């Protein structure tokens, strides 16, 4: 790791273990150009030539006649607006004359150890030994605008965190109308883009397509990172796969409206920009005020998507998730949502808890429906008092009884919302977002609280804290069940209304920060109608996020594959639920549901009192498997061996410990195939010189069964492959455990 300023070449050099990033400063004009991002360079001699300033149209200093041509072809490190670069700008500023041009040029820089936090925003972190930060100060003297471009590198991970801080250093107010977090210009070697798309219950399905001329983007205006698009884009050289080819990854650490865009221009160069979606965004900067953009993570891999995945997993585990649960075994939970929906009382919950405790389940989570008059989804959001008609004896008594069974207790909240039919709404109708003169837009029967307002946040936090202090509650599920509309706040003047979307997100972050500061040992799980706000921003507050309301094991193969391409398995909320599945009506073996949930945080979401004896026996087996392998699943390196999204037939992935001593292979056959031989799949991440014993995990008993003669060398497993015995039956899984033989 290291950042250096190479004075002779006027280059900044940023190194991670396997990558180099170079930024050039053009002498007189102070233009900041992107020189190189790719595999690590031993020597950078001559790299400045990549800026092409010695060929026509030359720089304006030597050829001002063609200033616009230069502006429109130079590889900018952070693109300007309205001065001749007709590609996507990174920033646009409205000044008091109504003009919007911006041109930032180099003023100074600072290289420092460590990584400063971003005020009010989630961000990666690392100590002085682990991280280094370059801050390049640029200015537009006409506007009186300063921009500090920040780049942090990590000693142990191939990632660069970029963000920008704007300061109004002039005497007049300015309005930022666009303030993206990064721009990356490079020649287009012929790239494909991978992006993630979906909807409720169908989150993060992968799409790959060639990037052609023009603009290709993913974005949202839903106020949350969304089910529909994910704040991520990978650009790959066209043949790149899991193990080979070049991959550039862009992942935003932000939970609101975003834009990530790739643009190929007339000279076949590609520009990638990422940040807060400029649509419906503006931010007023009074003289002396500052604005901080969210952070974007850049990764580069010369060894395909798999290496990108492992860099992101390491980055998020080591430098983003802060929870004390990060490296700890998560309690096996049972959530009552799919078991009871709103129809429960303390008796039903206790019956579920008793049966669960007997099976070894460790925590009961009481989902939606425990507060105010909440008997369905039409009422009571905002009334965060326990409904004692439902829970006779109150929350304290219920939690004591659950604790007496040896189980922890967790609870659900939806703090950002308000129902019209609620005490809160009757007292404060103006606390819901509203555009004057327009009927509010209902979604799931609810409105959105204006959490850009401090008094609204204070009230909700006070109510939540009162509930959480009233009993021994060790887990909170923080839900958010609709997209933002009605963007109007009575607390903001007209020329600040464009700040509302971002202020809302800042409000969420502030509330979650207060929650985990007040209850430092709390296990927080974020959720948004399933996985509608599953993003790196939320991971800064909660070590796990509910991945999808679709708990069907086969649907989950796709959702979890794409989610695991970016996030460690320890972050992926996954439960075993009942069949026929409530979302798709599919029947899958209980065993398979267990394997799929074991590749996440693992828990149950069903009425355990109604399980058949056969399934109950499997619960015990699954729990033993979880106890045996939770650390490997949580901490191991992840390798994708086959993609059901691509082959439409089967799913397979592998987890290895760092020492290459042990490994798990998860295999799911979606549809059985007639008249086939065994399947041979090449494993990854093993020690070629070692010999491994292959064991099959028996989910019925939770034990390992040794197949005779299955001692195979790492080299054979990796280059020849592992033979997976043919078996019949649809939706069936196998779990194999490999350990180094003595
Ligand atoms: C949506 C969540 O994703 C579900 O798990 C459940 O908590 C419901 N909301 C409750 O309203």
**Mean pLDDT of all residues in 74-90:** 98
Q: What is the model's pLDDT at position 289?
A: 98
Question: What is the reported pLDDT for 316?
Answer: 98
% of the chain beyond a pLDDT of 70: 99
- Extract the tokens encoding 459: 């009230």
Length of the chain equals 742
pLDDT reading at 703 higher than 90: no
The sign one gets for the Cα dihedral 689, 693, 699, 703 is negative
- Indicate if 429 and 302 belong to the same structural domain: no
- Write down the pLDDT at residue 212: 96
Question: Do 6 and 133 have their domain in common?
Answer: yes
Residue at a domain's end among 497, 530, 546: 546
User: Is residue 624 assigned to a domain?
Assistant: no
End of a domain among 546, 577, 608? 546
Residue 629, domain member (yes or no): no
If asked whether residues 117 and 262 sit together in one domain, one would say yes
CATH number at residue 709: 2.60.40.1180
In this model, does residue 470 exceed pLDDT 90? yes
Read off the pLDDT of each residue in 386-403 and give the average, rounded to a whole number. Answer: 97
Assess whether 227 and 313 both reside in one domain. Answer: yes
Residue 507 belongs to a domain? yes
Does ligand 1 come within 6 angstroms of the Cβ of 371? no
Closest CA to 194 of 241, 263, 259, 244: 241
If one residue of 336, 341, 365, 367 were mutated to test the ligand 1 pocket, choosing by the most ligand atoms within 8 A of its CB, it would be: 367
479 CA from centroid of ligand 1 (Å): 7
C-alpha 298 – ligand 1 centre gap (Å): 32
C-alpha to C-alpha distance for 360 and 332, rounded to whole angstroms = 8
pLDDT greater than 80 at residue 588 = yes
Quick check: 238 and 182 in contact, CB under 8 A? no
Whether residue 314 sits in one domain with residue 284:
yes
Helix, strand, coil percent content, the chain, rounded in steps of 5: 25, 35, 40
- Residues 308 and 372 occupy one common structural domain: no
Mutate to test the pocket of ligand 1, among 343, 476, 479 (most ligand atoms within 8 A of CB): 479
CB 605 within 8 A of CB 582: no
525 touches ligand 1 (CB under 6 Å): no
- pLDDT band at residue 196 using 50, 70 and 90 as cut-offs: very high
Is the preceding peptide bond at 240 cis, omega within 30 degrees of 0?
no
Residue with CA closest to ligand 1 atom 9: 529
Using one digit for the tens of pLDDT, what is the confidence trace for 302-316? 999 999 999 999 999
Per the annotation, the verdict on 158 as an active-site residue is: no
How much distance in Å is there from the Cα of 550 to the middle of ligand 1? 11
Q: What is the pLDDT of residues 593-633, one digit of tens each?
A: 999 999 999 999 999 999 999 999 999 999 999 999 999 99
Instruction: Please give the pLDDT value at position 699.
Output: 83
> What is the rounded CA–CA span in Å between residue 14 and residue 34?
12
- Ligand 1 contacts CB of residue 546 (under 6 A): yes
Query: Do 351 and 308 reside in the same domain of the chain?
Result: no
Ligand 1 atom nearest 477 alpha carbon = 7
> Is the distance from the beta carbon of residue 549 to the nearest atom of ligand 1 less than 6 Å?
yes
Q: Identify the CATH number of the domain in which residue 358 sits.
A: 3.20.20.70
- Residue 209 scores a pLDDT above 60: yes
Spatial CA neighbour of 605 closest among 352, 369, 359: 352
Q: Which two tokens stand for residue 254?
A: 């932000």
Q: What is the rounded average pLDDT of the residues 537-543?
A: 98
Choose which residue among 201, 333, 335, 337 to substitute to test ligand 1 binding: the one with the highest number of ligand atoms within 8 A of its C-beta.
Answer: 337
Among residues 267, 294, 319, the one where a domain terminates is 319
Residue 76 DSSP class: B
Same domain, 290 and 402: no
pLDDT digits (tens, 9 = 90+) for 115-149: 999 999 999 999 999 999 999 999 999 999 999 99
Distance of CA 121 to the CA centre of its chain: 14
Domain assignment present for 605: no
d(CA 246, CA 263): 18
Give the per-residue pLDDT at 709.
62
pLDDT score at 418: 98
Q: In terms of C-beta density within 10 A (0-12 exposed, 13-18 middle, 19 or more buried), how is residue 363 classed?
A: buried
Q: How many CB atoms lie within 10 A of CB 286?
A: 9
Domain of 711 in residue numbering reads as: 639-740
615 contacts 590 by C-beta, under 8 angstroms: yes
Domain count, the chain: 3
Active-site pick, 158, 188, 368, 549: 549
Domain contains 190? yes
337 Cβ below 6 A of ligand 1: yes
What integer pLDDT is reported at residue 700 of this predicted model?
81
The widest CA-to-CA distance across the chain, in whole angstroms, is 84
Q: Supply the pLDDT for residue 66.
A: 97
In three-state secondary structure terms, 648 is coil
**387 pLDDT tier (thresholds 50, 70, 90):** very high
In a domain, 561, yes or no: no
Does ligand 1 lie within 6 Å of residue 573's CB atom? no
Residue 270 is inside which H or E element, if any? strand 269-276
Q: Is 337 inside any structural domain?
A: yes
Of the candidates 370, 333, 379, which has an alpha carbon nearest to the alpha carbon of residue 348?
A: 370
pLDDT 10s digits, 633-680: 999 999 999 999 999 999 999 999 999 999 999 999 999 999 999 999
Are 309 and 368 members of one domain? Answer: no
Does residue 370 share a domain with residue 295?
no
Rounded average pLDDT over 504-514: 98
354-to-193, 569, 608 alpha-carbon distances in Å: 50, 29, 9
Same structural domain, 150 and 183: yes
pLDDT band at 377 (very low <50, low <70, confident <90, very high): very high
CATH number of the domain bearing residue 281: 2.70.98.60
Query: Is ligand 1 within 6 A of the CB of residue 629?
Result: no
Q: What is the mean pLDDT of the chain?
A: 97
Does residue 483 lie within any of the structural domains? yes
**93 has which bridge partners?**
176
Indicate whether 281 and 353 sit together in one domain. no
Residue 213 Cα distances to 76, 80, 260, 329, 649, angstroms: 19, 21, 16, 48, 34
Predicted local distance difference test score (pLDDT) of residue 742: 77
Q: Is 479 in the pocket of ligand 1 (CB under 6 A)?
A: yes
Is 549 a residue of the active site?
yes
The CA–CA distances, whole Å, from 26 to 30, 32, 151, 264, 325 equal 5, 6, 19, 24, 47
CA distance 465 to 515: 8
């Amino acid at each position: 790791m290291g950042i250096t300023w190479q004075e002779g070449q006027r280059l900044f050099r940023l190194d991670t273990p396997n990558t180099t990033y170079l930024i050039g400063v053009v002498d007189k004009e102070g233009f900041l150009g992107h020189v190189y991002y790719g595999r690590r360079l031993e020597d950078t001699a001559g790299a400045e030539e990549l800026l092409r300033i010695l060929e026509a149209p030359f720089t304006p200093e030597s050829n001002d006649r063609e200033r616009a041509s230069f502006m429109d072809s130079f590889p900018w490190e952070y693109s300007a607006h309205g001065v001749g670069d007709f590609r996507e700008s990174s920033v646009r500023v409205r000044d008091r004359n109504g003009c919007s041009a911006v041109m930032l040029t180099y003023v100074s820089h600072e290289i420092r150890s460590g990584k400063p936090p971003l005020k009010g925003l989630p961000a990666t972190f690392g100590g002085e030994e682990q991280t280094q930060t370059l801050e390049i100060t640029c200015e537009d003297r006409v506007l009186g605008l300063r921009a500090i471009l920040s780049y942090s590198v990590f000693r142990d991970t191939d990632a660069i965190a970029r963000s920008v801080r704007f300061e109004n250093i002039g005497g007049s107010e300015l309005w930022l109308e666009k303030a993206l977090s990064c721009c990356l210009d490079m020649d287009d070697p012929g790239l494909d883009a991978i992006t993630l798309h979906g909807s409720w219950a169908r989150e993060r399905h992968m799409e790959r397509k060639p990037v052609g001329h023009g603009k290709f983007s993913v974005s949202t205006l839903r106020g949350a990172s969304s089910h529909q698009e994910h704040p991520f884009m990978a650009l790959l050289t066209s043949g790149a796969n899991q193990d080979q080819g070049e991959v550039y990854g862009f992942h935003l650490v932000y939970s609101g409206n975003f834009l990530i865009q790739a643009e190929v221009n007339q000279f076949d160069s590609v520009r990638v920009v990422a940040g807060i979606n400029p649509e419906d965004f503006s931010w007023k900067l009074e003289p002396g005020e500052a604005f901080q953009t969210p952070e974007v993570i850049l990764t580069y891999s010369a060894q395909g998507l798999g290496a990108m995945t492992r860099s992101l997993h390491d980055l998020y585990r080591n430098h983003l998730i802060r929870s004390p649960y990060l490296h700890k075994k998560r309690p096996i939970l049972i959530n009552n949502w799919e078991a009871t929906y709103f129809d429960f009382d303390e008796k039903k919950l206790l019956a579920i808890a008793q049966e669960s405790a007997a099976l070894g389940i460790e925590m009961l989570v009481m989902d939606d429906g425990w507060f105010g008059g909440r008997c369905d989804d039409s009422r009571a959001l905002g009334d965060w008092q326990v409904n004692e008609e439902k829970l006779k004896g109150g929350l304290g008594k219920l939690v004591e009884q659950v604790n007496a069974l040896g189980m922890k207790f967790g609870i659900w909240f939806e703090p950002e919302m308000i129902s019209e039919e609620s005490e809160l709404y009757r007292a404060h109708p103006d606390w819901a977002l509203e555009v004057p003169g327009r009927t509010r837009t209902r979604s799931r029967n609810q409105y959105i609280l204006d959490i850009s307002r401090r008094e609204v946040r204070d009230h909700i936090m006070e109510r939540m804290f009162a509930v959480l202090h009233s009993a021994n509650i060790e887990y909170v599920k923080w839900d958010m069940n609709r997209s933002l509309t009605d963007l109007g706040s009575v607390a903001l003047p007209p020329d600040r209304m464009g700040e509302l979307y971002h202020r809302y997100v800042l409000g969420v972050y502030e509330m979650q920060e207060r929650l985990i500061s007040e209850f430092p040992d709390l296990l927080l799980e974020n959720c948004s109608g399933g996985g509608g706000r599953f993003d790196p921003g939320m991971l800064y507050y909660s070590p796990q996020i509910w991945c999808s309301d679709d708990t069907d094991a086969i649907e989950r193969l796709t959702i979890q594959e794409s989610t695991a391409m970016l996030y460690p398995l320890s972050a992926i909320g996954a439960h075993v639920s009942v069949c026929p599945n409530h979302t798709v009506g599919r029947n899958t073996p209980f065993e398979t549901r267990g394997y799929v949930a074991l590749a996440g945080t693992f828990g149950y979401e069903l009425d355990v009192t109604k399980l058949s004896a056969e399934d109950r026996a499997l619960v015990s087996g699954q729990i033993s498997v979880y106890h045996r392998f939770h650390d490997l699943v949580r901490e191991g390196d992840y390798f994708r061996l086959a993609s059901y999204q691509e082959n439409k037939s089967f799913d397979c992935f592998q987890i290895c410990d760092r020492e290459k001593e042990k490994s798990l292979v998860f295999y799911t056959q979606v549809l059985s195939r007639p008249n086939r031989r065994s399947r041979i799949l090449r494993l990854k991440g093993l020690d070629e010189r070692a010999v491994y014993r292959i064991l099959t995990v028996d989910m019925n008993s939770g034990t390992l069964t040794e197949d005779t003669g299955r001692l195979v060398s790492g080299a054979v497993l990796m280059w020849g492959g592992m033979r997976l015995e043919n078996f019949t039956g649809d939706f069936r899984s196998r779990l194999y455990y490999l350990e180094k033989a003595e």
